[in-house]
Amino acid sequence: MTPFLAYEDKGADSSSVPLVLVHGHPFDRTMWAPQIGTFSAARRVVAPDLRGYGASPVVPGITPLSVFAADIEALLDDLEVDTFVLGGLSMGGQIVMECYARFPDRIRGLVLADTFPAAETEDGRRARAAMADRLLREGMRGYADEVLELMVAPYASAEVKAHVHGMMTATPPEGAAAALRGRAERPDYRELLTRVTVPALVVVGADDTYTPVPDAEAMHAALPHSTLLVIEGAAHMPNLERPREFDEALAAFLEHVDGSSQPSPHGPRL
């Protein structure tokens, strides 16, 4: 049964295409606070808490990306959001890819930030299973302390670090562990990307070590109608670390989607 997801739904319906934003692991919808504030002035913006995160229900066990995608589809049905631009960061980007595999006709554009399309390796599956066990055993704080300056750059502001650390420590371990186990079994989306018919914006922080710039460049090359933006002075969460640069690129992309019913030619690296 699909749980009722907590969500943010701001901005009035207008001629602009709605924007739906999917957070990464182990965060919640507040990671999109700068973008919700910027873009809800001119369009509807929906940002859910995924099951197991934020204020949404916790479902222990294993949560595959297909389940996250089905939850998002059900929420958008309930909210009567028929077509939209869909964006996600990290695990959220992989959920976006799964959504495109499930209901491409509803999606007018893709935003793929600090993510990658490949299936998990054997070593990666073992590491995710071990981390899931650790989170259930120890809770989130030790993990959050260890990875904070990988999620955001060491030189990020104290305010951004506090926000990111707070999201991680507030995440229920059972939800995070279920997502880790499900993400370990994700399919390979690389071939799917070559068949995407809508415009795409690929964004990556220049100092991201989880999803380095070459991963973003490979996605940009695979997507038929994409633009790549590498944001200097940011690591894995450029939307929080460098919100002005992120939002300027997203605004230009959304303006293009609003004004065109057809995909643009393959765009440049910015």
How long, in residues, is the chain? 270
In-domain check, residue 265: no
Residue-wise pLDDT for 189-222, tens only, equals 999 999 999 999 999 999 999 999 999 999 999 9
The mean pLDDT of 249-269, rounded to a whole number, is 74
What is the reported pLDDT for 222?
Answer: 98
Instruction: Tell me, yes or no, whether 49 lies in a domain.
Output: yes
Q: CATH number for the domain including 230?
A: 3.40.50.1820
In a domain, 254, yes or no: yes
3-state secondary structure 215-234: HHHHHHHHCCCEEEEEECCC
Q: Considering its fold, how many domains does the chain have in total? A: 1
* Inside any domain, residue 267: no
Residue-number span of the structural domain to which 180 is assigned: 7-259
Kindly state the tokens that stand for 34.
């700068």
Q: List pLDDT tens digits, range 116-171.
A: 999 999 999 999 999 999 999 999 999 999 999 999 999 999 999 999 999 999 99
Would you say residue 110 lies in a domain? yes
Burial 161-187 (b: 16+ CB within 10 A, else e): bebbbebbebbbbbbbbbbbbbbbebb
- Give the span between the Cα atoms of 249 and 267, in whole angstroms: 12
Domain-located, residue 241:
yes
Which has the closest alpha carbon to 43: 73, 74, 85, 78? 85
Residue 3 has a pLDDT of: 61
* pLDDT reported for residue 74: 97
Question: Quick one: pLDDT band at residue 233, thresholds 50, 70, 90?
Answer: very high
Listing from the earlier edge strand, what are the strands of the sheet with 19-22?
7-10, 45-48, 19-22, 84-89, 107-113, 200-205, 226-231
The pLDDT, as a whole number, for residue 1 is: 47
Tell me what pLDDT residue 12 has: 82
In this model, does residue 264 exceed pLDDT 60? Answer: no
By C-alpha distance, which of 10, 27, 21 is closest to 171? 27
The per-residue pLDDT for 76 is 97
Does any domain span residue 85? yes
* pTM attached to this predicted model: 0.95
Q: Is 94:115 a contact under the CB 8 Å cutoff? A: yes
d(CA 268, CA 265): 9
11 to 45, 92, 186: CA distances (angstroms): 6, 22, 33
Q: Does a structural domain hold residue 268?
A: no
